[in-house]
Amino acid sequence: MRKTFCGALALAASLAAGLAGPLASAEQLDLPPAEAAPQSRPIVLPQRGQTQASVLREFGEPHTRHAPAGGGSAKHPPITRWDYDGYSVFFERSTVIDVVTKGDPPPLSHVDELKPAQ
């Protein structure tokens, strides 16, 4: 007994061709203009991988140095936070692992703010 799948392949091809049509005629939408970032946020921030010494040289002494947290084992290394104006720098041992800016996040664009392109 010989089975053929030509009918199934033809059906799949016609479905794929039918789906491509609506996608090709999608409407173009313009996003609302982005608001300018607040001036209080620094433009240059410490980068992941920098050492504490290089952060001190480049950005100066922090306003607050918090005591290390953790450090009880190799799986839980000590994490230290330094606070500057507008941002905090987090170190694992003596290496930057993250920088967090303070304040409200930038506004999000929502679907209801989208308008058709002119």
Tally of domains within the chain: 1
Instruction: Let me know how long the chain is.
Output: 118
User: What average pLDDT does range 31-41 have in this prediction?
Assistant: 55
Q: Considering the domain boundaries, does residue 4 fall inside one?
A: no
**Residue 27 within any structural domain of the chain:** no
Neighbouring residues of 92: CB distance < 8 A, sequence distance ≥ 6: 77, 78, 79
Q: Who's near 114: CB < 8 A, 6+ residues apart?
A: 29, 30, 31, 32
pLDDT at 82: 97
**Residue range(s) defining the domain that contains residue 86:** 52-101
Q: Is 62 a member of any domain?
A: yes
Domain membership of residue 95 (yes or no) is yes
pLDDT tens digits, one per residue of 5-27: 455 555 556 656 655 555 556 67
Q: What is the DSSP string of 48-81?
A: TT-BHHHHHHHH---SEEPPPB--SBTTB--EEE
Q: What is the DSSP letter of 45?
A: -
In a domain, 109, yes or no: no
pLDDT: which is higher, 75 or 30? 75
Sign of CA dihedral 83, 43, 61, 57: positive
Domain assignment present for residue 38? The answer is no
Q: Is 93 within a domain?
A: yes
Residue 78 lies inside a defined structural domain of this protein: yes
Cα separation of 53 and 94, whole Å? Answer: 8
